[in-house]
Amino acid sequence: MTWERFWSLIEVLGGEAGMETCERFEEACARLTDVLAHEPAGQIIGFGERLAEALYRLDQEVFGTLPVLGMARSDGSPFPQSDDGFLYSRGAVVAAGRQTYESVFGHPERFARFTAHQCESLLYVHEEAFEQVTGTEWDRLTRYSYESCSNTDDWPELRD
């Protein structure tokens, strides 16, 4: 799948307007799943690969160490993102669309507003579409791991 096609499919989510509530975002993900389910299995796999790569590229210490927007510990200190929270924040950046995605690189302050978003549902749209099309569960590993801290090149403290 080309990057152009990937980003055109992401547009089905409606950008940031689709993230006003968790319910609206889940509905948007269901629409994207339906659209993907009309694609051949190879294209669905390609979408999963592109999504994993986009999330991997955002897996950077400069973004992952930002505190959660609007939250503080009881002592008033910044509330850190958890590994899962950081993954879902990266999903929110991708869901916001190509322009937003590209704009955060080199500008962590642009990423910061997504730290309070929980866009976990995006991680499963291709898996659900794949199951609908093939009748089998997604059992593939993508080329890039999107788990937090897997991009060791962009987490200097994690390098060997």
Measured in degrees and rounded to the nearest 5, phi and psi for residue 139 equal -130, 35
**Domain annotation covers residue 76:** yes
**Of 2 and 23, the one with more pLDDT:** 2
pLDDT value of residue 17: 46
pLDDT, mean over the chain: 91
In a domain, 160, yes or no: no
Quick check: is 94 in a domain?
Answer: yes
User: Confidence class of residue 77 from pLDDT cuts 50, 70 and 90?
Assistant: confident
pLDDT in tens, 6-48: 999 999 998 864 455 566 888 899 999 999 999 999 999 999 9
How many domains does one find in the chain?
Answer: 1
As given in the structure block, the two tokens for residue 1 are: 């799948």
Mean pLDDT value of segment 93-98: 94
- The verdict on residue 73 lying in a domain is yes
0.95 surpassed by pTM = no
Report the pLDDT value the prediction gives residue 160, as an integer from 0 to 100.
56
Domain enclosing residue 78, as ranges:
3-144
**152 within a domain of the structure (yes/no):** no
Domain contains 150: no
107 CB contacts (<8 Å, ≥6 apart)?
none
Between these two residues, 51 and 14, which has the higher pLDDT value? 51
Between the alpha carbon of residue 108 and those of residues 45, 79, 101, the distances in Å are: 30, 16, 11
156 vs 138 pLDDT, higher one? 138
Q: Is residue 151 part of a domain?
A: no
In a domain, 10, yes or no: yes
